[in-house]
Amino acid sequence: MTRGEKDGLIFLLLGSLVFVILGMLGTDSMGDYRSLYYGARCLLEHRDPYNKSVLLELYQEDAGNRAMPDPIVHGAERMISTYVNFPTAFLLTLPFSIFSWQTSHYLWMVLIDTSLLFAAGMVWRFEGNVSPVVAGSLSGLVLLSSISVPAFGNVSAIVVTLCVIASCCLLRDRYVAVGIFCLACGLILKPQDAGFVWAFFLLAGGLQRKRALQTLAVFVLLSLPGVLLTTAVAPHWPWEMLANQAESTLAGNFNDPRPNAASGTTGLMFVNLQSVFSVFTRDPRLYNLATALACAPLFLAWIYATIHRPFTPQRAWLALAAIAPLTLLPVYHRPHDAKLLLLVIPACVQLWAQRSRLRWAAVALTSACILLTAEFSATHLGHLPRDLHIPFDTFADQLLIVLLGQPAPIFLLAAASFFGWLYLRSARDLPQTAKAA
């Protein structure tokens, strides 16, 4: 190994060590995984997982049979009783529901830790021979920002790993079957995270479109068992799921992005743009419209560049670097979804290796996005308006609240714009030989 590779590996190992040690300290709550686990248990016992009373009854039965701290039991009931995931996710969660909660949540923790470590290591290995220090530092930084992920137990960490594996395999045209399977599994578990990664291969045309269609076929085959089983147990699940999703975003509920003017806090633990625009207006129609107007031009420019410009692996990484932060902005996303920023690192490494004038800007912007979307950053920054006693009265106050308490979506929007601009510009810089190829 060269000196640079050793230094990059040290940064990655330090991030991995801190992630594993600190991540193990908060595994008792696992609020997000509780919903997945008890939803799968309901289905396993032929009960309707989308029925709130049925799901809560099963949770309380299980909680009564073992010692659990009261705050965890009562604080989780509201989230547990509202199952909002697609039935396709049962493909992964049903095997874990066979075990008791104590065994299952430790197995799930190991899976999440292993997934993120593997994804970060793969990104470093994939681009480490080009700029190993940059690749190792940014990958280690993602792990440092993920120390709260095992405590929540959200499936996003697994989906991010699947997207990283799929992108590396398909863009290198090696282990293609593994890449197709991983991308299909990512769509099954969280289409809102993996959807635009798949869309890139579909829009790129040629061999990439073939891979996307193959992924779609595998997705359908793997989805059928979970959907058919859920339909047999709960025939009305589509309407129940939509009702649960709508209810979760109501005022005061756990997916409501609006700030709490009474407590002086912004929309905690959100990275989508609704949490920013809702500071200025509490009307969902208005802040959803503002979010759509902010994101639509970036999506349209990205789609145009993908369809009408030639495909190269270098441009593909720029495309993924642009769409990864943009994916997080238009719909509900939390900090654990932001680990998708691992897909931005290869583009940063390439810019650094090419001695681009914009390499420092790329690395600095990516680092800021990684740090600001960490769970601990989102929590502490969200409380700043309250701690500084900033009112919600005037536009100037509201703007200050956004800048201090909710900066993550702003930086994600800046990163999506920056890498999107580089993606559009890269087409003009391609030599004719590359276009012909």
**What residue spans define the domains of the chain?**
1-248, 253-437
- State residue 64's pLDDT score: 63
Place of tokens 């902005």: 329
- State residue 264's pLDDT score: 52
Highest mean pLDDT (candidates 216-225, 268-277, 349-358) = 216-225
pTM for the whole structure:
0.88
- State residue 366's pLDDT score: 94
Contact 364, 344 (CB under 8 A): no
Strand runs labelled E in 139-253: none
Residues 60, 432: Cα–Cα separation, whole Å? 66
Percent of the chain with pLDDT over 70: 88
SS3 238: helix
Strand runs labelled E in 137-293: none
Amino acid at position 221, single letter: L
When pLDDT is averaged across residues 330-357 and rounded to a whole number, the result is 89
Residue 233 above 80 pLDDT?
Answer: yes
- State residue 125's pLDDT score: 81
What mean pLDDT, rounded, does the chain reach?
A: 84
Query: Which of residues 316 and 264 earns the better pLDDT score?
Result: 316
**Cα 11-29-117 angle, rounded to 5 deg:** 25
- From the list 45, 40, 24, 47, the residue with the least C-alpha distance to 96 is 40
3-state secondary structure string across 19-83? HHHHHHHHCCCCHHHHHHHHHHHHHHCCCCCCCHHHHHHHHHHHHHCCCCCHHHHHHHHHHHCCC
Q: Running DSSP on this structure, what letter comes out for residue 407?
A: -
Structure tokens at 64: 């009564």
- State residue 433's pLDDT score: 32
pLDDT band at residue 227 using 50, 70 and 90 as cut-offs: very high
Contact 237, 84 (CB under 8 A): no
pLDDT digit string, tens, across residues 65-94 = 554 444 344 445 556 667 888 999 898 999
Residue 183's contacts (CB-CB under 8 Å, 6 or more residues apart) are 162, 163, 166, 170, 194, 197, 198, 201, 215
When pLDDT is averaged across residues 47-58 and rounded to a whole number, the result is 86
Q: How many residues does the chain have?
A: 437
DSSP class per residue in 269-313 = T--STHHHHTTT---HHHHHHHHHHHHHHHHHHHHHHHHHS---H
- State residue 391's pLDDT score: 74
When pLDDT is averaged across residues 397-421 and rounded to a whole number, the result is 90
When pLDDT is averaged across residues 216-242 and rounded to a whole number, the result is 92
Residues 65, 352: Cα–Cα separation, whole Å? 56
Residues 349, 76: Cα–Cα separation, whole Å? 41
